[in-house]
Structure 1
Amino acid sequence: MRIASDEVRNNKIKSYFLILFFIFLAALLGSVFGLIYGNLYFGIAITIIFAIFYTLVMYYSGSKMILKMTGARPVTKKEFPYLYHTVEGLAIAAGLPTPKAYVIDDSALNAFATGRDPENSSITVTTGLLNKLNRQELEGVIAHEMSHIKNYDIRFMMLTAVLVGIVTLLSDFLLRSFLWGGMRGRDRNNNQLTILLIVVGLVLAILTPIVGQLIKLSISRKREYMADASGAHLTRYPQGLADALKKISKDPDPLVDHANKATAHLFISTPFRKKHSFVAGLFSTHPPIHDRIKRLEDM
């Protein structure tokens, strides 16, 4: 399918530009840090080396850490035969290697996919989802997660989360440097330069994580719409996923016990209790679920 192949290519290209953009932000923060301590190039070099090292570590071990953080455990064919065969069958239909299947022992209705590529991927569902969805609804959810894998959303979103995390750490360190009484390497009598660097550094340290977080959330919301459409195409039955989302939206206790802000964007629906306000919508990891249902029912 041409649209799917275009999406894969676009996600790969966006991944490279995303890395370059966040390396630029890290270098910008590093330059301020270097000026504070009197060595511009040292500050830039250290932050870029740290960013590259951290990204590589998370790229190769991030999915394992996510599975551990969420309390996921591997699925056996004997314990969950229908889930096992559903993942296997939809992987064949999508032309993908079969992802590893995991479950979270939790009554909430939710699921997510993770990994760095289709060859190193997994799909995780909660036991609540398995117990409360019928066959067509479960297939819709698994197809949605399979689409995240096929479109390389799993890599793109993992890189986004990692890079936003790096910028946030660097910004926090920069703010602490000011609090500890920075500018050690500069002439403290040069008050104008001191004030300028402090203002620029504080603005960067405060705004950069916010901008990074908004970029991550915007990307996450768009990817959910795309995965809904791709998943519906895979099953040839959009109503299955629409009905699953209806049940998920009516779940009286949507809170997934082991979910946190670092992993929330991975789930098919927000794993926290929903808040209805403009600010909550702006910082939401997911588009409004009623909009997703309407789009599916209009297909």
Structure 2
Amino acid sequence: MKYVGLQTQIWRNNRNTVILLFMFPVILLGMVFLVILGLDFFGAICDIVEGGCPADHASYTKYGTMHWPEIWHCFKVVIPYTLQIVGVWFIIAYCANTAIIRHATHAKPVERKDNLRVYNIVENLCIAGGIEMPQINIIQDSGMNAFASGIDIPSFTITLTTGLIEKLDDRELSAVVGHELTHIKNRDTRLMVVCIVFVGIFATIQTVSLKLMSAMIHTPRRSSRRDRNSGRADVYLILVLLLVFIWSSIGYVFTWFTRLAISRKREYVADAGGAELCGDPLALASALRKISNDPGLMSVQRNDIAQLYVIHPDEEFDNNMGLKGWVAKANILFCTHPDTPERIRLLEQF
């Protein structure tokens, strides 16, 4: 693995964060534009645009006829609303991400007096690495796992399970803490929160559109004249929801693979940084070997949070199935973490 300097990694993560923040509204606006194109292709745009299409335009009942002035008019109208939705979504994520993670994992904050051993290990490594002292949270779980979270200095947090604290010796625990502190120093946590929000909004749009479409299809209708007159509007709405579902699914897949690629790379860098910070790569290799046997946190049914863990429990289960050859390589493409044996091998050669 090519060595990457700390400042270079921080610069890359900040750059990737800016790129993702820019890509998110662009992709969302692209999805909206494609929905409008789809509506016009199926002859629905003329009924939606105020005043209808001009008389010299082809009939809205003729599929495949594009009305570009009306398409651009609709697109310009929805741009401000789309950008407002993006802004509100990110403000909520920025302000509430720490509370959401703590609530989902049932983590509790820890002070020096509560656990002197853990607090001293974190504090000493922060001093050694010139890293801001993060908050420390502990989860009551017999499994062994840890993760870092937060997007700025006040919200940076390291969370450890009680199983990890009890079952690892000081060398191994220091190595795991060093790994998580490297995530914070490299600003990986900020980048991953943006990725989670990026994927989350497409997943939300996908779910909401599918449920609304299903509800409309299965709602019983009467055969009155009023209901027949509203039938066309219902068909148009179902068509809109179908197009939204299709394009949000494509956006979700694209952003999901982007998140996976970023996540795997950052784990390798954090392993190297953690080994360097604690000065004992073999201790981190030993800790990863122990954690892989019992990563715990199975009660946290949140895959977006699980990608922050030092080892993803579900992915480790897949790795332990003994997949080989092209099947194993294909499986890794769908994982947020690299293969644990490969991480251990690199640390032992560090």
Same fold (TM over 0.5): yes
Which amino acid in 2 is paired with 1:61? Answer: A
Q: d(CA) in 2 for partners of 1:65 and 1:200?
A: 31
Which runs of 5 or more structure 2 residues have no equivalent in the other structure? 40-47, 50-73, 218-231
Q: 1:286 deviation in Å?
A: 1.0
Match of 2:79 among 44, 63, 72: 44
Deviations 1:97-121 (A, max 9, x none): 2111110000010000111124431
1:133 corresponds in structure 2 to 168
TM-score in terms of structure 2 length: 0.75
1:232 aligns with 2:275: yes
CA contact (8 A) 1:32 1:40 kept: no
Match of 1:54 among 66, 89, 92: 89
Q: 1:43 deviation in Å?
A: 3.2
Note closer, same or farther for the CA distance 1:114–1:43 as it changes in structure 2 (3 Å cut): same
Q: d(CA) in 1 for partners of 2:304 and 2:213?
A: 27
CA contact (8 A) 2:291 2:311 kept: yes
CA contact (8 A) 1:11 1:152 kept: yes
Which amino acid in 1 is paired with 2:265? Answer: K
CA contact (8 A) 1:107 1:126 kept: yes
Percent identity of paired positions between Structure 1 and Structure 2: 33
Match of 1:211 among 248, 254, 260: 254
Q: d(CA) in 1 for partners of 2:298 and 2:164?
A: 11
Larger Rg: 2
Q: 1:146 deviation in Å?
A: 0.1
Q: 1:68 deviation in Å?
A: 1.5
Q: d(CA) in 1 for partners of 2:282 and 2:16?
A: 31
1:288 corresponds in structure 2 to 339
1:185 corresponds in structure 2 to none
1:261 aligns with 2:303: yes
CA contact (8 A) 1:269 1:286 kept: yes
Compare 70-79 and 131-140 and name the one that shifted more.
70-79
Q: d(CA) in 2 for partners of 1:61 and 1:250?
A: 33
1:146 aligns with 2:197: no
RMSD value over aligned CA atoms?
Answer: 2.8
Q: d(CA) in 2 for partners of 1:197 and 1:259?
A: 31
Deviations 1:176-209 (A, max 9, x none): 566648xxxxxx7xxxxx9x98986554232211
Match of 1:110 among 145, 150, 153: 145
CA contact (8 A) 1:248 1:269 kept: yes
Q: d(CA) in 1 for partners of 2:109 and 2:245?
A: 45
CA contact (8 A) 1:30 1:45 kept: no
Q: Secondary structure at the match of 2:138?
A: strand
